[in-house]
Amino acid sequence: MNEHARGAVRVEQGPKRVRCYLAGRLVADTRRPFLVWEIPYYPAYYIPLADVVADLKPVEKVEHSPSRGTARLFDVRVDGAAAESAAKRYPDSPLEELRELVRFDWAAMDEWLEEDEPVYTHPRDPYKRVDILASSRQVRVEVDGVTVADSTRPHILFETGLPPRYYLPLPDVRTELLAPSATQS
């Protein structure tokens, strides 16, 4: 099947931490977002239900997708703020990966973050760009039980097809433990 054909859906887990907010309040925070290409041009984020902190109140509406199945719609509520019909779930989807995920309407949320950087309009397509994002993830490097570096302010390099690489600020590295490697000919 042509992955770019209309109606074809591609699903894969992404490596970035993703958060979304409504009225300045956290709706979801995940380190295991799913990228779902509902259309061929760019993906949508689907968040594991376990990583949603907002209340999802079911509404009477449903939507049907030939490829994803029937979506149940939910109002999103966080601490006095609400977005009507702004979340959907496909609990009986023919695509098993979607069954425990939630898709939030992008425009209904006030802010989306990848790591600690705002994202506008839609998620970035990991196959069409290289990103270096500031993050607040804790990164610790140990060698034989000795902490060589410990940081909560890394920059993370995301490159197509490669695992993420972490770059740490020099003050967060115990440089006295580092030695240049011997050059081999």
Can you spell out the DSSP letters for the chain?
Answer: --TTSTT--EEEE-SS-EEEEETTEEEEEESS-EEEESSSS--EEEEEGGGB-SEEEEEEEEEEETTTEEEEEEEEEETTEEEEEEEEE-TT-SSGGGTTEEEE-GGGSSEEEETTEEE-SSPPPTTS--EEEE----EEEEETTEEEEEES--EEEE-TTS--EEE--GGGB-GGG--PPPP--
Do 22 and 99 fall within a single domain?
yes
Do 92 and 24 fall within a single domain?
yes
Residue-range definition of the domain harbouring residue 117:
10-121
Do 75 and 100 fall within a single domain?
yes
Residue 2 lies in a domain: no
Do 71 and 39 fall within a single domain?
yes
Residue 67 lies in a domain: yes
Question: What digits encode the pLDDT tens for the residues 21-64?
Answer: 999 999 999 999 999 999 888 899 999 999 999 999 999 999 99
Do 70 and 157 fall within a single domain?
no
Do 86 and 145 fall within a single domain?
no
Q: According to the model, what pLDDT value does residue 183 have?
A: 60
Residue 46 lies in a domain: yes
Do 21 and 86 fall within a single domain?
yes
**Domain count of the chain?**
2
Domain with residue 18: its CATH number is: 2.170.150.40
Residue 182 lies in a domain: no
Which carries the bigger pLDDT value, residue 64 or residue 2? 64
Question: What digits encode the pLDDT tens for the residues 55-100?
Answer: 999 999 999 999 999 999 999 999 989 999 999 999 999 999 999 9
Do 61 and 92 fall within a single domain?
yes
